[in-house]
Every structure is written in structure tokens, then in C-alpha cells.
Chain A
Amino acid sequence: MTIVANTVVELNQVTKEYPGGVAALRGVDLRIERGELLAIVGPSGSGKSTLLHIVGTLDRPTAGTVAIAGHDVAALSDRRLSALRARHIGFVFQSFHLVSGVTAQDNVAEGLLYSGLARAERRRRAATALERVGLGDRMHHRPHELSGGQRQRVAIARAVVGEPDLLLADEPTGALDSASGEAVMQLLHDLNADGATIAVITHDGEIAGALPRQVRIRDGRIVEDARTTPEDAQARPEDAETMPLEPAGGEDQCRATD
């Protein structure tokens, strides 16, 4: 399947209706290529969470096709879908979802639990992943001994430890103060520079604007799919802290509804 392997996500006319006739997504087309770093941005109720569920194969569309890493999701049983998530998708959650009372290393190793690797190998890779996110010295700390930003970095290490084709980050900075949030975003940039494909789901236009591509979603439709030039993206991190973001198109709209 090397032919399609460069397209990590391919959504075609995806519609999701909930019982009762509420349509969360209406005919969404979306392609994510390998190595991209993009934001899926929209206010709450826009359908971005539903989009995240569908791209993450946690839910199925009522119409349209979804292909993840070359696999047609509709053709897969729940079991195979689980295996798809285990191998191809990593998740980062707003509220981290670390297992309390378990060390950082074991939390990260949990990300490989359903991969079929032996325990020792899982822990070895977890150690490497923790080094990668800059927590090599926090290996044996438990979540309550870590700051919010560190916890989110542990969660990111857990998401990337299996080297997924796609990393989905749902409001990764939502529960963090701005400094920690910035560090987390920087980490995502670094991982992307190393080749990871990352989609950040956010309502925050500022965060979205700092990423090379912004997919804006409103009322279940994609209203804009913009790419920031590399120069813009380069320029942003310095500005971000001190001044409001230079609006890319649609930015104000988004804020206003927030």
C-alpha cells in the first residue's frame, strides 16, 4: 500500500448525522499528506470534535468515505479498526488522561500495550520517547509529581511512542498556562520537523495561526483551508507572546463566535 501511503487522511464527502437529525458534519472533504502540521480550528459546536472522532476512527460517518493510512474505514470491523488505531494513530487529549499512580515511563509504555510488543521493549521505547520530549529526567515520576506541561509532554510521548502515521491533538494546550502551552506547541513543531504528521484540533485562532495549515470548520462544513507560508510560520513564535496574532483570513470571525 505504498501508493497511498503518502496520503495519511482522506475524507470524501463525509457527513455525520446524529439520531434526531442533527448533522454535525455536512459533506466534508479533507486530505492530510504525510509530514503535515495543521490546525483544525473552529468554535465549539462547529463539528470539529466530530471531525476528530471520525479522523481518529473512534466514530464512523453516516455518509461519505474515510481512508486512514490507505485503509477504507468503512470496510473494517471494529476489531480491525482498533488495530488501525493501535498502529497508525496517536491521540493527545486536553486533559492528558494519564494513569495516576503509575510512573511516566509506564504511562508512555501503555501507548504500546496493544501493539503486541513485549513488555521490556515497550518500556525501552517509552524511555526513548520520554527523552525525545525532554523528560528523560522524569522517567520515574508519577503524574501528580509533574507540572501540567510535563504531564502533557508525557501524554505526547505516549501518543508518539508507537510512531503513528497521524498524531491527533485535541486542544493540547487547553488545560495549560500560556508558557507551558507554548512549550507543548514547540514540541509539536519539533516532532513535525522530525517527520510526524500532526493535526491539532483547537478553538484558539492564535494557536491555529502558528501552524502551517489551518482548516477552519463552521456548522459542519470546512469554510477555509489556508496555508501559511513558511516565512509567516517562522515569524510567529516570537510575536505570539507579546502581540495579537496577525489574522489569517477568517480569524476574526472565529474569535467573535468563541
Chain B
Amino acid sequence: MPSDRLTPARLGPRDVVHVGSAGLRARPMRVVLSALGIAIGIATMIAVVGISASSKAQLLQQLDKLGTNMLKVAPGEDLFSGERAKLPKEAPGMIGRIPGVEHVGAVGDLKQTVRRSEKISKDDTGGLSVKAAGEDLLKALGGTVGTGTWLNDANGRYPSVVLGSVAAERLGITAPGQQVLIGSQYFTVIGILDPLPLVPEVERAALVGWQAAGTLLDFDGHPTQIYERSSDASVESVGKLLARTADPQNPQNVKVSNPSAALQAKAATEGAFDSLLLGLGGVALLVGGVGVANTMIISVLERRHEIGLRRSLGATRGQIRIQFVTESLLLSGLGGLAGVLLGSAATYVFAASGGMPWVVPLWAVGGGFAATLLIGSVAGLYPAVRAARLSPTLALQAG
């Protein structure tokens, strides 16, 4: 005999899921369509967050490779004359003696143009410049030679030139050995540098040896930019000493800057994802939630007989409620899952096409999923309460 204490039996979690999914299994097409709204919303949000995280990760990776320990010294304007000041010729050597400094490289701007041949007008510079380069420049910039060799004592005396990556491209030089016209003299290209994202001015320059610049191109020997690389720990202390060391007489005429600062700022803004798109995703998610609520209300209306049947089989109101809330949660959960996959895939495609690392922040996935579950329970609650309030006599009405 059954016990006479009439306590409703509890449904196990498996049974709850089973009962909650019964309605979904019966109408797969409806499930797909109503979960789609949620999926689109979540996918948008995941993609927005993922894409900005990926580009930020790429920038940080770049920064990591380039290093943030390089400082640039350049002459400012003379306070009195308003003319461009000159750095002393000894400045690179003096900077090299600051404790912590590892490499110092100097370049000096030359008032010359670089052209492929005489057939090209002198005015057609293509945005390229000619610079005298110290031997230690490449080490200070952390650059590498793509093809050919770097300037040294031997070839620095002769009309030989190393091209920055952009300069080589614009001049149409693909291999060492070709010649370019600097001023009125042909120089032989001996090397082409790899890209230097931190120093675009060097990427766009034809670099001539310090000595050759003096003898062949009337270089006055005053550096116009000095690049200094120190250990990470001493960047700050070195930075403070740079102006006074470079020009002890007129430290106010010296500008010190950190080329990686711009990149760092860019990384920071990339991380701040597009709030407009994110808002759009939020709206899609909301519309998806309304769709789920709508589906649930229709589902309750259609399944009055089932509800009555379950009540007659002994389901309590609470068990009917939980059935429909579970159904709603499953519905939106499915949408959320699809959305996370879709958004991650979209991020992957974007990242892969842009050569970025693929980053989908876990907090975005977790947050997106939590949002779906919240929407699912909110959307399901009202229909579920309505279902539970239906009279159990419904099952007995024919039709």
C-alpha cells in the first residue's frame, strides 16, 4: 500500500530535463527559429568582444617583440631663434655612457633625394628621405636586415646604401646589388631592412654610412635623431638624463619621446570594444528573448491538454512550472551555445584573415551564457506560471 502521507515525489534532475525537452523535441523547427534570435545576439556580442580582444592581443604581441625600452632623442626648436636646434656631434657618445644604456644609434637627415634614376624628377620624393646612419643604429632599433648586409666600417665609406622596407618597396628595389640615385650620384643597395613599426621614419629612409655621408653628400655630422635602448628597469632613469646628456648647454632644445607609447595607446583603445556594436548585440539578444517568451506562451496554449494530463497524472503546479521554465532555459541555452560557437567562429575568421591571434575572452563566453540563462528564465517564467495556473480539468475536455 502506498503511504498515506501525501507528499508529492520530487522529480530528479534528469527527469526535469527530460520533461522540459519533450516539447522541444516535438517541434525542432520552432526550436531552431526561436533560438536563432538569441544566437544572433550572443554571436554579435562574442564577435565584438573577441575581435577587439584579438586585435589588442596582436598589438601587445607586437609591443612585446618590439620592446618598450627604446627612447628617441631629437632636436627641438631653439627657444630664441625659433629655428630648428642642432644636437651636438658628441651626443651619441655621451648618451652611450649613461648607466643602463645598451645601444645608441644615430641618424642624420641629409638634404638629398633618393630616386630610381635621372628620369624621375627631383621633386618626386615619394615621401622618402636620405639619412646618414651610425653603425649601432640597427641594434638600437632592434631591427633586422631582410636581405643583404648592414652598413659597416668598410662599406660605410663607399657609395653604398641600405633601404628601409617601405623605401625599398616604393623604389621598386627587391634585391641588393641594384642602384639608386642619391643627389647626383648612384649608390649601390647593399641591404634591405625588415619592417620597423616603431620607427616609420627609418622604414621610409635610404641609409648611408656616416662617413660616406660626410664625404659624398655634405653631411655636417650633427645627428637629427638618436635612438637609445636600455634595460627595461632603467628606462625611466635614463629618460630623465637624456636631454641634459645630449646637449648639456641647451637641454631645453632636446625632445625625448618613447616611440612605443603610441602603440601602447592604440592597444588600449583597441581593447575598448565598440560599444555601439555591443549595444546592437544587446538589442538582438533582447529581441531573441522576446521571441523565446512568445514561443513559450504559444507552447503553453497549444499544450493545455498535455498540462491537464500531467496534472491528472499527479504533477504539482510547481512541477508544471519547472517543466516550462526548463523548456525556456533549454531553448535559450541552445541559442546561447550556438551564439558562442558562431561568435567564436566569426572571430576566428576575422583573426585568421588579419593575421591576429585568436582570442575569445572567457569572461565574454561566461557572461554571454549567463545572459542567455537569465533571459531564458525571465522569458519562461510568465508562461510557466500561466501553465501552472491552468485548471487540471483541461485534459478531460475533448478536442
Contact = CB atoms under 8 A, between A and B. Distances in A.
Interface of A: 1, 5, 49, 52-53, 56, 58-59, 70-71, 76, 78-89, 91, 93-95, 97, 99-102, 110-111, 113-117, 119, 158, 170-171, 174
25 contacts: A5-B1, A49-B396, A53-B396, A59-B391, A59-B393, A70-B4, A71-B4, A71-B6, A78-B317, A80-B7, A83-B314, A83-B316, A85-B313, A86-B313, A91-B395, A93-B309, A99-B22, A100-B26, A101-B26, A102-B22, A113-B15, A114-B8, A114-B9, A114-B313, A114-B315
Interface residues of B, number: 37
Given A53-B393, A82-B314, A95 B15 contact: no
Contacts of A83: 6-9, 314, 316
Contact of B2 (A87, A93, A113, A171): A87
Contacts, number: 113
Given A83-B9, A114-B314, A99 B306 contact: yes
Nearest to B320: A82
**Across the A-B interface, the 8 shortest Cβ-Cβ residue pairs:** A86-B314, A116-B9, A114-B314, A80-B6, A83-B6, A82-B316, A58-B392, A83-B8
Contacts of A56: 312, 396
From DSSP, what is the main secondary structure of chain B's interface residues? helix
Given A94-B398, A116-B9, A116-B10, A82 B25 contact: no
Contact of A97 (B8, B309, B391): B309
B8 A1 contact: no
B14 interface: yes
Interface of B: 1-2, 4, 6-12, 14-15, 19, 22, 25-26, 305-306, 308-319, 391-393, 395-396, 398-399
B320 to A, nearest CB: 10
A93 B308 CA distance: 11
Contacts of B399: 95
A19 to B, nearest CB: 13
B396 to A, nearest CB: 6
Contact of B314 (A5, A49, A70, A87): A87
A84 B6 contact: yes
Contacts of B315: 82, 86, 113-114
B313 A110 contact: yes
B26 A113 contact: no
Given A91-B309, A97-B309, A113-B310, 4 more contacts: A97-B308, A114-B310, A116-B9, A170-B396
A114 B310 CA distance: 9
Contact of A86 (B8, B391, B398): B8
Contacts of B7: 80, 83
B247 to A, nearest CB: 86
A80 B305 CA distance: 22
A204 B318 CA distance: 38
B396 A58 contact: yes
Which of A53, A76, A86 neighbours the largest number of chain B CB atoms within 10 Å of its CB?
A: A86
Contacts of A114: 8-9, 11, 310, 313-316, 319
Which of B2, B312, B392 neighbours the largest number of chain A CB atoms within 10 Å of its CB?
A: B312
A88 B313 CA distance: 10
Given A59-B391, A83-B6, A100-B26, A113 B311 contact: no
A88 B316 contact: no
A93 B312 CA distance: 11
Contacts of B2: 87-88
Contacts of B309: 91, 93, 97
Given A85-B314, A113-B313, A97 B395 contact: yes
Contact of A58 (B4, B11, B311): B311
